[in-house]
Amino acid sequence: MCEQDWKRYRKYRFQLLTVWLASAPAALLCGVLSQSLFHSDVLLSLASVAFFVLFLYTGIRFQNFPCPRCRQSFAGKWWNNQSVFARSCHHCGLAKFGVCEE
């Protein structure tokens, strides 16, 4: 069970990084297409909002990843969240990518 949770953590981290890296080129492409096809910035605005919502969704999901051992937020509480820099669970001390005793 623990190994599957860490695979899911890696998947969430990869998705967040992908959305972050893809947002600038996609916005640029939408801006060029919007200007050439519609002569306005409507498509660029819609794409910006869509990428912002997608980035927000993936970021919140990554931030709230539950610890495989104690099932509480791995990186900490909402007011003290270490996010990707957390080396161990804020609550039970399980090391990142550590093995759970089952």
Per-residue pLDDT of the chain (102 residues; tens, 9 = 90+): 788 999 999 999 999 999 989 888 887 888 788 788 878 777 778 888 888 899 999 988 988 889 999 898 888 776 676 777 788 888 888 889 888 875
State the Cα–Cα distance between residues 83 and 74, nearest whole angstrom: 8
pTM of the model: 0.79
State the Cα–Cα distance between residues 55 and 16, nearest whole angstrom: 7
- The interaxial angle of helices 2-33 and 42-63, nearest 10 deg, is 170
C-beta of residue 77 within 8 angstroms of C-beta of residue 67: no
Query: Could you give the C-alpha distances from 21 to 13, 17, 24, in angstroms and in order?
Result: 12, 6, 7
Q: What is the pLDDT of residue 43?
A: 76
Q: What is the pLDDT of residue 14?
A: 94
